[in-house]
Structure 1
Amino acid sequence: MSRIERYVLRTATTAFLTGLVVLTGVIWITQALRQIDLLTSKGQTILIFLLMTGLALPSLIAVIAPVALFAGILYTFNKLNGDSELVVMAAAGVSPARLLRPTLALSIAVFAGVAAITVQVLPWSFGQMENLTTYIRADFISNFARPGAFNDLTVGFVFHYRERTPDGALRGVFMQDRRDPEHVSTYIAEAGKTLEKDGSSYLQLSKGVLLRPQAAGDSAMVTFDDYTIDLNQFSQAVAAVKRPRERSTVDLMLPTAADRADAAMAGHIRSELLDRLASPLYALVAGLVAFAALGEARTTRQGRGLAIGGAVLAFVAIRGLGIAATTLTVGVPSAAIFVWLIPLAATLGALAMIFRQPLFLAHAARRAATRPA
């Protein structure tokens, strides 16, 4: 790379990283405030709070990185235009391709980073978040649920106990699961205690009854001496079958027979896989659309502001269409072609605009004229 190319790359990279850190930080703080109940109602430590919110960072970065790249490229070439540096470069005979190269280099680097996050890091982070959620809820029962209070373990699931003995056992346990209004379960037991086995949390109830309302208005009652409840089943985030976003990319490519037989699950798996594979392409789209708008020397009279506005609208429209196409594939498998067609068409369209700019055409004409016969 020449000195000019390194200068453009350094300026664009600095702008991109600044935008990425600022945007990610603002959104992360917003998300973190929504999890503040971990420190209050759930009684967790600041370490658990930071770990839970930190696991959300990969998903934020994957979404924000193309936007930050787009803003960084626009800022860089708007600055070069505003300081008349592009005009000087053009007058000195600098090829437009030399300005495009650092843009492509940064775009490809962001593409690779986003691809690594969406394909490998995101499934791991989502899986860790679900495991941590289960731990928090189990820990909440064993250590932080207040005696004498009706504690919401999750939406529709209430937990209550009268007192805690010195050895940690719970006395006077009451639980009610109303998450499914058609199948309400009520547990009443004299005592209970939490257990850990093979990485799973359990609540063992002693000397109690299980009540389930019947259609006739009566309740079916089952008495028990010992009854063990898997706390994982009461977590909204943990299910017997992993959700698509928690599965590895290889698992999404090779769904089980049960997944293929379930039309709804098959649709969500297809949509998740396409989103992971196609999302990184928007980093290339972002860099090229921004360069197509401001990569050529412009004056204010030539509508630099109009070019920026047009580029922003174009990128928002392209990304919006991409999200819509990915969502559509849940129920319409044939829509998968649009998931690929939209970013590829946008990339080719931006390249066509770039190579049809007067400076590119003039430089190509000069090279053709000086080429030996």
Structure 2
Amino acid sequence: MSRYDRYVLSQYLVLFGFFSLILVAVFWINRAVVLFDRLIGDGQSAMVFLEFTALTLPNLIRMVLPMAAFAASVYVTNRLNSESELTVMQATGSSPWQLARPALAFGLITALMMSILTHVLMPASTKQLAIREAEIARNVTARLLTEGSFLHPANGVTFYIRQIDPDGRLNGVFLSDRRDPEQRVTYTGAEAYLVREGDRANLIMVDGMAQRLDTATETLSTTVFADFSFDISSLIKKNDNRTRSIRAIPTLELMRTPGDITENDGYTPGQIAEELHLRFARALICVAVTLIGFSTLMLGGFSRFGVWRQALLAFVLLIFLEMLRGVVSDPVLENANRWPLIYLPTVVGLMVAVLFLRLASRPRLRRIKPNPAPPAEVAP
């Protein structure tokens, strides 16, 4: 690799890091607001929020990495063109194919990054995220022991605690159970305690009252009790036998034992084939979008007015490839034998890049010949 190639490649990587940071920050803020509201609203600490945020970052980076690579390719190529560096290199005899070597190397580097994300980080983070979600779902303290807030741990159930003492005593407890449409029960207690017995959790209320409303007869009955036990296991119990996410399954397992995955997790062969080949196609598409960004801007040549038309064309091609990626998934889901369709966007993108580089290397193919000047009249 020549000094010029290393210089351009360094520019690609610097701008790639910048655009990746910006895009990840924008998408992260959008998701972090929802995640923060859900976790903190359920009584979780800020450390749990940071942990969940870190576990969702690989999936977020996977989404923005091709866009960042494309933006870096277009921006750097446009700057090299506007500063006449590409023009100077072409004047010294460098063809567009030679000038495309840094873009190709940059695309391969981003493809390697994407491969690490899809084959290693994504399955590991998705698996760990599912484990932490299950742990938090079983955490009674985080879900119910939040003072001064009306909580809704289940549909038709409202729970409120006025104050929690350091020794774990609950003061001013209110529990409304409206899950049975025929009767509504409201419990209030001066004090209460949470007691765990294995997988069961009971709320022991002291010095309280139970009000039962029969909706059919509109009859209200009231019972005062000294102590009362209410089973709240159904409010906090989640289904621990959930099917693991297909994104959490390692790539080697998808390749070696697809039949066992179908039998144990219920995924169809089409879903397994789509997930497996998407992990490879996402890496290859990075090479395609990088070369498209470079080759499209090479069509314009030097101009004081910029290459905004070529940049717009490159953006339209990027959108087309993204739409094509969404179209080819449905046939593969229906029939796993159609898995080569997953690589169609990458093949189309590479073919477009090769075509544009060929046009750039032969300017006469894309120029319109001017009309020949009329012959000069010879004076008699």
Rounded to whole Å, the distance in 2 between the matches of 1:307 and 1:124 is 40
Contact 1:147 1:160 in 2 (8 A): no
Q: Which amino acid aligns with 1:138?
A: R
Rounded to whole Å, the distance in 1 between the matches of 2:332 and 2:178 is 34
Rounded to whole Å, the distance in 1 between the matches of 2:13 and 2:119 is 23
Query: Measured at CA, do residues 262 and 36 of structure 1 come closer, stay the same or move farther in structure 2, by a change above 3 Å?
Result: closer
Q: Offset of 1:128 from its aligned partner?
A: 1.8
What's 2:208 paired with? none
1:102 aligns with 2:102: yes
Deviations 1:92-116 (A, max 9, x none): 2234333211111111010011011
Q: Offset of 1:161 from its aligned partner?
A: 7.2
Contact 1:43 1:140 in 2 (8 A): no
Contact 2:140 2:236 in 1 (8 A): no
Of 287, 307, 312, which aligns to 1:304?
A: 307
What's 1:41 paired with? 41
What's 1:8 paired with? 8
| Paired residue secondary structure (1:336) | helix
Rounded to whole Å, the distance in 1 between the matches of 2:347 and 2:72 is 22
What's 1:339 paired with? 342
Q: Offset of 1:312 from its aligned partner?
A: 0.8
Task: Say how many residue pairs are matched.
Answer: 335
Query: Measured at CA, do residues 166 and 18 of structure 1 come closer, stay the same or move farther in structure 2, by a change above 3 Å?
Result: closer
Q: Offset of 1:127 from its aligned partner?
A: 1.6
Q: Offset of 1:265 from its aligned partner?
A: 4.4
| Paired residue secondary structure (1:204) | strand
Q: Which amino acid aligns with 1:271?
A: E
Unaligned runs of 5+ in 2: 206-228, 366-380
Contact 2:160 2:174 in 1 (8 A): yes
Query: Measured at CA, do residues 289 and 239 of structure 1 come closer, stay the same or move farther in structure 2, by a change above 3 Å?
Result: farther
Query: Measured at CA, do residues 92 and 166 of structure 1 come closer, stay the same or move farther in structure 2, by a change above 3 Å?
Result: closer
1:204 aligns with 2:201: yes
TM-score (norm 2): 0.73
Query: Measured at CA, do residues 311 and 152 of structure 1 come closer, stay the same or move farther in structure 2, by a change above 3 Å?
Result: same
Of 263, 269, 274, which aligns to 2:277?
A: 274
Of 254, 270, 275, which aligns to 1:252?
A: 254
Q: Which amino acid aligns with 1:247?
A: I
What's 2:373 paired with? none
Superposed, 1:75-114 pairs within 5 Å as 75-114=75-114
Query: Measured at CA, do residues 196 and 318 of structure 1 come closer, stay the same or move farther in structure 2, by a change above 3 Å?
Result: farther
Q: Which amino acid aligns with 1:310?
A: L
| Paired residue secondary structure (1:279) | helix
Query: Measured at CA, do residues 262 and 56 of structure 1 come closer, stay the same or move farther in structure 2, by a change above 3 Å?
Result: closer
Query: What is the identity percentage for the equivalent residue pairs of Structure 1 and Structure 2?
Result: 26
What's 2:130 paired with? 130
- Aligned residues: CA RMSD: 4.0
Contact 1:233 1:239 in 2 (8 A): no
Rounded to whole Å, the distance in 1 between the matches of 2:25 and 2:106 is 22
1:355 aligns with 2:352: no
| Paired residue secondary structure (1:153) | strand
Rounded to whole Å, the distance in 2 between the matches of 1:125 and 1:261 is 21
Rounded to whole Å, the distance in 1 between the matches of 2:45 and 2:147 is 20
Rounded to whole Å, the distance in 2 between the matches of 1:263 and 1:63 is 26
Deviations 1:287-334 (A, max 9, x none): 111121123561337972211111111111112211332244333435
Contact 1:290 1:311 in 2 (8 A): yes
Query: Measured at CA, do residues 261 and 11 of structure 1 come closer, stay the same or move farther in structure 2, by a change above 3 Å?
Result: closer
Rounded to whole Å, the distance in 2 between the matches of 1:139 and 1:349 is 54
Rounded to whole Å, the distance in 2 between the matches of 1:258 and 1:336 is 18
What's 1:366 paired with? none
Q: Which amino acid aligns with 2:28?
A: W
Q: Which amino acid aligns with 2:352?
A: G
1:316 aligns with 2:312: no
Deviations 1:11-34 (A, max 9, x none): 111111110111111111111111
Rounded to whole Å, the distance in 1 between the matches of 2:295 and 2:178 is 57
